[in-house]
A and B are shown apart, each in its own frame.
Chain A
Amino acid sequence: MAQDKMVHAIEATNLADILERVLDKGIVIAGDIKIQLADIDLLNIKIRLLVASVDKAMEMGINWWQQDSYLSTKAKETEIEKENIALKKRLDRLEEKIKAK
């Protein structure tokens, strides 16, 4: 199986991978110590990833994901499904009413 071939995150990745996630992601809840990671001058310490931007992608002319409708269509599908179920129920009720008459 392919999974067996994969090395675990910590071994397979360089430190940038860890820093990217630990410093920039994870749930943000204000603790008692107020510190804005973005305020710190990180430029000198290679954690430029915090200020890297998608502008770079635009420069390179790669932006396929921005037009990607995956997330929005999924949401739409769920909405349509819900509406569908509601309509079917309404139809059933109407049919029963007609039969009862």
Chain B
Amino acid sequence: MNTKKAKEGLIYLYCITDKVPKLKEIENLVDKPYFIYHQSLYAIVNKVKESEFDEENLKRNLADLEWIKAKASIHEKAIEGIMKDACVIPFKFATIFNTEDNLKAMLSQHLKEFKALLIKLEDKEEWGVKIYCNSEKLKENLMQEDEQLLNIDKEINSSAPGKAYLLKKKKEELLNIAANKKLNEYGQVSFDRLKEKPTGVRINKLLPKEVTERNDEMILNSAFLINKDKVGDFLNIVEDIRAKYTDKGLFFDCTGPWPPYNFCNPKKGKIHNG
């Protein structure tokens, strides 16, 4: 029995859509992708080996960064390929079924939900914006602008060493407070501008430096769902705030279009019309 099952393999689900998917887009990435049509929905899937993806093996493989990197990239690219011509609902990594019937049963069970979601996502794109802050640069700017800080600097220069030391401490403290205030101001203004056009906004966890591999600190990690005809406006706004704040120490990382990963789980990603 087991040997027979191993030959059959497992079914890995990438995404679903309600248009006939163009598999040509992903054939060079995914080994023999195909779709399963059921109740007006197309599930884009691939056969995967049990030696890689059954519960035990998957658990082992998930501890292997190289394996995850490779499989996650395929997952992403497969969905992006389908997304070129159709509105998709992207599934989480390693959504796997034993048989086609099980997958079809899942589609039947969530049919209403999926159809409603596809309507909401139609003609929309997900874009991501991460903002980083270089606090050294931010503080350098402040030292040239802030009067209180400029005055303290003058005082330090004309003071005896003991007093100068205390003043330096005070200056540091004031500088930190001022930098924080500015950071909040810049962040708020940027975020207010970013959400002007999108129909959906999602704030995600800030990623630590170990993950971002950047020297500056992430201060905003956001995702936006935008009508396709508003994407140009949105990107112009990104350029605006980039021009305004780059010299002040902020860095804007804007990516997209992404599959709408952030706007598929009703409890998490809020979408509203208008």
Contacts and interface: CB of A to CB of B under 8 A. Distances in A.
B262 A21 contact: yes
Contacts of B147: none
Interface in A11-45: 12-23, 25-29, 31-35, 37, 40-42, 44-45
A52 B212 CA distance: 12
Interface in A48-97: 48-49, 52-54, 56-57, 60-62, 64-65, 68, 70-71, 74-75, 78
Interface string B3-16: 00000001001000
Interface in B40-62: 53-55, 58-59, 62
B258 A29 contact: no
A85 to B, nearest CB: 15
Interface residues of A, number: 56
Contact of B180 (A5, A17, A52, A61): A61
Contact of B110 (A20, A29, A35): A29
A75 B272 contact: yes
Given A29-B91, A31-B97, A35-B58, A3 B231 contact: yes
Contacts of A53: 205
The prevalent SS among residues of B at the interface is mixed
B1 interface: no
A78 B89 contact: no
Contacts of B254: 6
22 contacts: A9-B257, A15-B73, A20-B204, A22-B76, A23-B93, A25-B264, A27-B264, A31-B97, A33-B55, A33-B58, A33-B94, A35-B58, A40-B59, A42-B62, A45-B63, A46-B211, A56-B206, A61-B183, A62-B184, A62-B220, A64-B187, A74-B272
Interface of B: 10, 13, 53-55, 58-59, 62-65, 68-69, 72-73, 75-77, 80, 89-98, 102, 106, 110, 117, 128, 180, 183-184, 187-188, 191, 195, 201, 203-208, 210-213, 217, 219-220, 222, 231-232, 235-236, 238-239, 254-259, 261-262, 264-265, 270, 272, 274
Interface of A: 1-3, 5-6, 8-10, 12-23, 25-29, 31-35, 37, 40-42, 44-49, 52-54, 56-57, 60-62, 64-65, 68, 70-71, 74-75, 78
